[in-house]
Structure 1
Amino acid sequence: MKKQQWLATIAIFLTMGVILLGAYTRLTDAGLGCPDWPGCYGFLKVPHQEHHIAAAQQAFPDRPLVHHKAWNEMVHRYFAGSLGLLIAAIFFSSMFSRQSPKAVPTVLLLLVVFQAALGMWTVTLNLLPLVVMGHLLGGFTLLSLLAVYWLKLHPDYKVQEPQLVSLKPFAVLALIVLVSQIALGGWTAANYAALACIELPVCEQGWLERLNFSDAFDLHLGHDDYEYGVMSAEARQTVHVLHRFGALVTLVILASFLLQLWRRAKAPLMRKLTLAAVTLLFVQFSLGVMNVALHLPLLNAVAHNFVAANLLMLMVVIYMQLRHSSRFSAEETL
C-alpha cells in the first residue's frame, strides 16, 4: 500500500503543477505556441537552430515561431506527459496489489487519456472554446479524483461523524454550484471575456441593454481559428456578468454550507478541512475582484485558476467524508 500512497501523493502535486502551467500557458496566449501536436513545429522540442527554424516557418507559414510562447506550451506538455505516465504507473500498480482500490485508478487512467485527447484537440481545433473549457474541467476533475484515491489509501484520515449525515444533500448542492461556476469561469476564459467588463460592481453603464444570451452560449462551431475569441462584445459581456453573479451565488451557498459544517463537526480533521475550504473560498472571491480591479494581472489570474482547482478538491474530499460518515451511521444502526 505504501507504494500506492507515495504515487498518489506525487501525482496530486504534479497535477497541481500541470494546472498551474496550463493556466499560465492559456493566460500568456501560448495555447497555439506550437501549432502541431505532440511535438512543436515538427520537433520534440522548440526549434532553435536556424535551419530548424526555417523548416518550421516553411511548414507553418501562418504561425510564426515565438520562442517564449512555444516553450510555455512545451513545458506544459512535458509535465502533462509525465503525469500521464505516473497515472499509468498507479493503474498498473493497483492491478497487482490486493489491497489497493481498483475502480478509481481505472477511471483516472481513462480520464488522463481523454485529457491527452483534449490537449491535442485544443491545438488541432485552434482553441475551440468548448474543448478549452473541457480541458480545464478535466484537469480539475483529475485533481479531485486523485484526492479521493489518496483518501481511500489512507483510511486513518476518514472521519466518522453521524451528526453530519444530514448535511450530505447540502454538500451535493454546494458541489453542483461550484462546478457550474468553474465551468462558467472556463467558458469566460476560453472566449477571452475576462476583461469584457472592467468596472465594479457589475459592468460599464448600460450593461443590461447589451446582454445577449443566445450568442453568449452559442458554440460558434465552424471557425478556422478561435484565438482571441470569435464572440461579439455583447456576448462576452454577458458571459462575464453571469460569471460575476455566479461568484456571488457560489460564495453564499458554499459559505452557508461550510458554516453549518463548522458548527456541527467535532473531529479535528473535519474542522481543519472546513477552515481550509472557507479560507480558499474567500481568497478565490478576492482574487476574482482583483482580476477586474487590476485588469487581469497574470499572476493573480493564474492564482484564481489554481485556487479554484484546490477549492473543488477540498469540497470533494469533504463530501467523501460525509459519505463515509453516512455509511458508518448505517452500519451502526444495523
Structure 2
Amino acid sequence: MKINYLLKFTLVFTLMVILMGAYTRLSDAGLGCPDWPGCYGHLTVPNESHELAKVEAHFPEHTVEPEKAWLEMIHRYVAGILGLMVFAVLVLCLKHREAPKKLPIFIAALIIFQAALGMWTVTMKLMPIIVMSHLIGGFSLFSLLLLLYLRTKPLRIPGGDIYARKLAPLAMAGLVVLIIQIVLGGWTSSNYAALACTSLPICEGNWVDNLRFADAFSPFQGHHPSFEFGVLDYATRMTIHVTHRLWAVVTAAILILLAIKLLKAQSTVMRQSGYVLILLVVLQVALGISNVVMHLPLGIAVSHNGGAALLLLSMVFINYALWRKA
C-alpha cells in the first residue's frame, strides 16, 4: 500500500524533527524567537534595517540573535512539514478500506496538540513541564507511527514461538521502565540539570544529604519572567540528575535481561530484536557517560536524545510482536 511507503518516510522524518528539537533546545535557542508562529512578527528571521527597526519598536526587551532565531524557525518549518505528512497518512488511511481508522485519527489529534505545546513552550518561556511534555509528545508520535506501520503491514513471526511469548510481561515491564527513564531525561534537560553532577558513578560531595525530591519533581516552580537556563537551586537540580542516573541503571538492567532472553527465542526476528536491544542499551549508556565526562558536548547530547527514541521504538516493536494475537 502507498500508506506503508509514506509511513516509512514519516517515521524517518519524525526522528529528524526530534533530533532537530533536541539540537535547538541544547543550543539554548528555544527562545530564539520570542513569539509564535512567526519570528518577531515575521515569517522568517528579520535582518533588513526596516525589519530590525520594527523589532526594536515591538520587542524592546529582546535582541535578534540570527543563529538562534534560525534554529528555532527551521525547527518550526520541519515540524510543520511533519504535520502535513501526518494528515496525508490520515487521508490515505480513511480512503483505504482495510487500513486502521482510529489510530491515525488519534495521531492527527496528537500532532495538533504537539503544535499547541510548541506554542506554549515559547509563550510560557520554556516552563519545564511544558518543555518536557513537548518532548514526550514527540516520542509518543514516533512510537504511534511505528505501531500504525506495523498494523498496516502485519508482522509475521514463523511458528508459534511459545518461549518468546512468555517474555511478554517482562517486555511490558521494560517498556514502562524505559518510558519513566525518558520522562526523567526530559525533566533533567528542561530543568538544565544535565551537568548538576560531573563525577562518576553517582555525584560529587555529600549528595545524599542534599536530596530534595519534593522540590525536584514539583511541576509548579512559581512565576518567573523566563525559565531559560533553569530556576531551581543546585541541590534540587542535583536530585533530578541523580534520580535520572540511578533509574538508568534499573532501566539498563531490565532491558539487557530481556535482550538476553530474546536471544534464546526460536524466531529469527525476536533474536535479532535482542541483538539490536543490547546494542542500543550499550550505546545509550556510553552516550550518557560521555555527556558527564565531556561536560555535555552538543553532538553527544543530541545523539543521546536520538538513542532514547530508537530504544523506545525497539521496545514498542518487541511488545507488539510478543503481545499481538498469534
| 1:108-123 matches, cutoff 5 A | 108-123=107-122
Corresponding letter in the other structure for 1:99: E
Asked if the contact 2:256/2:277 (under 8 Å) is kept, the reply is no
TM-score (norm. length: structure 2): 0.97
CA–CA distance in 1 between the matches of 2:56 and 2:178?
43
Shift of 1:182: 0.5
Residue 331 of structure 1: aligned partner: none
Alignment deviations for residues 50-99 of structure 1 (CA, whole Å, 9 cap, x no partner): 11122123222222110000011011111100000100111111111102
Residue 232 of structure 1: aligned partner: 233
CA–CA distance in 2 between the matches of 1:172 and 1:8?
25
TM-score (norm. length: structure 1): 0.94
Shift of the 156–181 alpha-carbon distance from structure 1 to 2, 3 Å rule, reads closer
**Matched pairs, number:** 324
List runs of 5+ in structure 2 lacking aligned partners. Answer: none
Corresponding letter in the other structure for 2:278: V
Residue 242 of structure 1: aligned partner: 243
List runs of 5+ in structure 1 lacking aligned partners. Answer: 329-334
Residue 66 of structure 1: aligned partner: 65
Alignment deviations for residues 288-333 of structure 1 (CA, whole Å, 9 cap, x no partner): 0000000000000000001101100110011000012xx21xxxxx
CA–CA distance in 2 between the matches of 1:257 and 1:241?
25
CA–CA distance in 2 between the matches of 1:161 and 1:154?
20
Corresponding letter in the other structure for 1:230: V
CA–CA distance in 1 between the matches of 2:257 and 2:56?
55
Asked if the contact 2:155/2:321 (under 8 Å) is kept, the reply is no
Alignment deviations for residues 159-198 of structure 1 (CA, whole Å, 9 cap, x no partner): 6523322211111110111000100000000000000111
Q: Secondary structure at the match of 2:266?
A: coil
1:3 counterpart = 2:2: yes
Asked if the contact 1:197/1:203 (under 8 Å) is kept, the reply is yes
Q: Percent identity?
A: 46
Residue 317 of structure 1: aligned partner: 317
Residue 308 of structure 2: aligned partner: 308
1:222 counterpart = 2:223: yes
Residue 332 of structure 1: aligned partner: none
1:89 counterpart = 2:88: yes
Shift of 1:157: 4.5
Alignment deviations for residues 19-46 of structure 1 (CA, whole Å, 9 cap, x no partner): 0100000000000001111111101111
| 1:1-334 matches, cutoff 5 A | 2-157=1-156, 160-219=160-219, 220-263=221-264, 265-324=265-324, 327-328=325-326
Shift of 1:237: 0.5
Asked if the contact 1:191/1:230 (under 8 Å) is kept, the reply is yes
Corresponding letter in the other structure for 1:81: G
CA–CA distance in 2 between the matches of 1:157 and 1:300?
36
Asked if the contact 2:291/2:300 (under 8 Å) is kept, the reply is yes
Asked if the contact 1:33/1:73 (under 8 Å) is kept, the reply is yes
Asked if the contact 1:57/1:65 (under 8 Å) is kept, the reply is no
CA–CA distance in 1 between the matches of 2:196 and 2:89?
42
Alignment deviations for residues 224-257 of structure 1 (CA, whole Å, 9 cap, x no partner): 3100101111100000011110111111111111
